[in-house]
Each structure stands twice: as structure tokens, then as C-alpha cells.
């Protein structure tokens, strides 16, 4: 996809998101936990035109992924183009394709630089998270799974009502970083699919049964990695700590009959559960012995072969 098409697509999505956001903030749509309209309790907020347009510009920049480290001079030039393009009579330059190739090269240069910066930050934050876990591992009595998830069971749930990856669950939770910053919290139980969340969270839900509580320490590779949600306080490589209550397994999917599997030993770090690890590299597997074909008697010789010979001569 060319950058021109990408920017046009981002602009259209931004307007859609902006419209949906305005609809969601409609006071007539406010609903309390009990399901009754609470419009009277919502006070209308006066918003200036400048603030509204500023928010629109913010969404456009995010959807166009302009947050990759453009210089102030480059952003001024981009804004000049935005102003020019907003004129309905504006036309592209004669050498539009050549200019766009240059623009794409500059953009991708910033994208690559931003990626390297995130990777470096992620390594530092992941190392800090590991040090943090080691410092509390003994005092908190943490357990760990073969995937690298650390957890502490606060309260065992109903072992007869365990969640599977394809099930839907109702959950209460609070998420925070290792420095105590709360980045997300459910005000009331939220329903979603077990496999619809980050891998570490989904795995943790399958450890306890319905009604159980667990604290999860999710390393970044089982969380958001180097790409945390835009605008979040989560940084690349951050460990996520969740206090979770599995309120209810709301929908149990049809499950196929389980087949016997061989779990990898603890000496295979990072191997996912229920997967037999491949043989080490350069290991030669001996070939299977070939089964010889069944022997068949040779066809009888014709009578001409025995003419002039005795039985002894023919033996």
C-alpha cells in the first residue's frame, strides 16, 4: 500500500472514530450498572471549537501513524500540505509519484528508527521486570508456567467449571505496572472470550475455576511486547500485573475429545504447553529398515531346456 493511500484510509477512519466517540458521549446513552438511564446525572460539558478541532487533528495524526519521530520542521511541512489538501480545488503536483516516493522513504526511515528505539527500551524494561519478579518470587510464593507466566493463586475456584481458550468468561480485574501505576480497571464484571485477550491473561484464566482469584505477572512477550496500546501508560517491554477474579464461565464452547499428548519437560524454556519440542539441530534420525519384498519362486523352465539332458545334468 502506498503512503498516499494509507494516509487517505487513516483520515477516513479518523472521522469514523470521531463520530462514534461523539455518539458514545451522548448523555441520552448513559446507563448505570442497574441498566436504568442516568442522563439526569450527566452534566453537559461545553467544548470549544478549538478543542474539538484539536481532538480531530489528534485522531488524524494517530490514525496516520505520524507519531514516529518527525522533526518540528517536517511536521510544519506536513501541516502545510494538510492545509493545501483541504482546499476542494487543490490539485496534486505534476511530479506527484516522484514526490510520494521521497515522502515514503522519509516516513519509513522514521518508522525504522522508532522501531529500533522501542526495541532498545523494551529490552531495558523487560530486564527490570525480571529483576522485580526475582525480588518478590520467594516472599510472594509465586508459581510459574512453562510459557514464562508468573502467578499466585489467591483463591481456588470451582474445578468443575474451568475455562478453555474458546470459552467466554465474565471477569473483574485491575491491571498495573511494576511501579504501581494502574493502567486499566473494570468497574463491573466484563465479558469476553478467553482467547480474545493477551496470551498471559488468557492463560491465567485457565488456571483457576469459576469463582477463583489469581494475581498474574505477565512478561511483555505474553503481553503487548514492543507495541503497547497507543496513549496507554504501558511502555514497550513492560510487565503487566493483574488481579483477576473469574466471576463466571458464561459460555462453554463445544470441545473435541482430547487426544493424549506429551508435554515438554521443564528443560525446554519457552515451549508452549501441549507441544512436543522438535529434536535438537543436527541430530540424525536413523532410517527405518526396509522390509524385503516377499520371495516368489522362479518360473518353471520350458521343456526345451531339458532336451538331451539327464535329471542329474539339470540339477
Domain count, the chain: 2
In a domain, 288, yes or no: no
Torsion over CA: 241, 246, 250, 252 (sign): positive
**Which pLDDT score, from 0 to 100, does residue 204 have?**
96
Statement to judge: residues 24 and 147 lie in one domain: no
pLDDT above 90: percentage of residues in the chain: 43
Q: Is the pLDDT confidence value at 165 over 70?
A: yes
- Pick from 12-21, 35-44, 158-167, 170-179: least confident: 12-21
Cα separation, 300 vs 182, in Å, equals: 92
Averaged pLDDT for residues 3-24: 39
- 129 and 241 in a single domain? The answer is yes
pLDDT for 243 equals 96
Per-residue pLDDT at 266: 37
- Residue 143, pLDDT score: 94
Of 64, 79, 105, which marks where a domain is finished? 64
pTM reported for the whole predicted model: 0.59
Domain that holds residue 200: 96-263
- Residue 253 has a pLDDT of 67
Inform me whether the pLDDT recorded for 217 exceeds 70.
yes
102 and 208 belong to one structural domain: yes
Confidence of residue 303 (pLDDT cuts 50, 70, 90): low
Residues 127 and 253 grouped into a single domain: yes
Shared domain for 124 and 18, answered yes or no, is: no
pLDDT of amino acid 210: 94
Q: Given 24, 46, 64, which residue is the final one in a domain?
A: 64
The pLDDT tens digits for 239-286 are 999 999 999 998 876 555 444 433 333 333 333 344 344 444 454 445
The answer on 131 and 195 residing in a single domain is yes
pLDDT score recorded for residue 90:
82
User: For the chain, what is the mean pLDDT?
Assistant: 75
Q: In terms of domains, do 59 and 110 share one?
A: no
What pLDDT, on the 0 to 100 scale, is given for residue 302? 54
| Three-state SS sequence of the chain | CCHHHHHHHHHHHHHHHHHHHHHHCCHHHCECCCCCECHHHCCCCCCCHHHHHHHHHHHHHHHCCCCCCCCHHHHHHHHHHHHHHCCCCCCCCCCHHHHHHHHHHHHHHHHHHHHHHHHHHHHHHHHHHHHHHHHHHHHHCCEECCCCCEEEEEECCEEEEECCCCCEEEEEEEEECCCCCEEEECCCCEEEEHHHCCHHHHHHHCCCEECCEEEEEECHHHCCCCCCCCCCCCCCCCCEEEEEEEEEEEECCCCCCCCCCCCCCCCCCCCCCCCCCCCCCCCCCCCCCCCCCCCCCCCCCCHHHHCCCCHHHHC
- Output the domain CATH number for residue 196: 3.10.50.40
Whether 295 maps to a domain, the answer reads no
Amino acid at each position: 500500500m502506498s503512503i498516499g493511500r494509507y494516509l487517505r484510509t487513516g483520515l477516513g477512519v479518523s472521522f469514523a472514530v470521531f463520530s462514534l466517540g461523539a455518539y458514545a458521549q451522548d448523555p441520552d446513552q448513559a446507563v448505570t450498572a442497574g441498566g436504568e438511564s442516568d442522563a439526569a446525572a450527566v452534566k453537559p460539558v461545553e467544548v470549544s471549537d478549538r478543542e474539538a478541532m484539536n481532538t480531530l487533528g489528534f485522531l488524524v495524526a494517530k490514525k496516520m501513524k505520524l507519531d514516529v519521530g518527525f522533526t518540528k520542521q517536517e511536521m510544519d511541512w506536513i501541516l502545510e500540505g494538510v492545509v493545501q489538501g483541504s482546499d476542494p480545488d487543490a490539485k496534486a503536483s505534476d511530479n506527484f509519484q516522484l514526490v510520494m516516493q521521497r515522502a515514503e522513504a522519509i516516513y519509513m526511515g522514521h518508522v525504522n528508527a522508532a522501531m529500533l528505539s522501542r526495541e532498545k527500551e523494551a529490552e531495558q524494561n523487560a530486564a527490570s521486570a525480571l529483576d522485580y519478579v526475582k525480588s518478590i518470587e520467594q516472599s510472594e510464593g509465586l508459581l510459574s508456567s512453562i510459557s514464562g507466566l508468573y502467578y499466585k493463586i489467591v483463591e481456588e475456584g470451582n474445578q468443575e467449571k474451568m475455562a478453555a481458550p474458546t470459552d467466554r468468561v465474565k471477569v473483574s480485574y485491575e491491571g498495573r505496572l511494576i511501579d504501581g501505576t494502574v493502567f486499566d480497571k473494570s468497574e463491573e464484571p466484563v465479558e469476553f472470550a478467553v482467547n480474545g485477550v493477551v496470551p498471559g491473561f488468557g492463560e491465567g484464566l485457565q488456571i483457576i475455576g469459576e469463582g477463583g482469584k489469581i494475581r498474574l505477572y505477565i512478561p511483555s512477550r505474553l503481553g503487548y511486547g514492543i507495541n503497547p496500546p497507543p496513549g496507554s501508560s504501558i511502555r514497550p517491554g513492560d510487565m503487566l500485573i493483574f488481579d483477576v477474579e473469574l466471576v463466571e464461565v458464561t459460555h462453554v464452547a463445544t470441545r473435541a475429545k482430547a487426544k493424549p499428548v506429551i508435554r515438554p519437560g521443564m528443560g525446554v524454556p519457552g515451549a508452549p504447553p501441549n507441544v512436543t519440542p522438535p529434536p535438537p539441530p543436527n541430530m540424525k534420525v536413523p532410517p527405518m529398515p526396509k522390509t524385503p519384498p516377499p520371495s516368489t519362486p522362479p518360473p518353471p523352465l520350458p521343456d526345451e531346456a531339458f532336451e538331451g539332458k539327464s535329471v542329474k545334468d539339470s540339477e
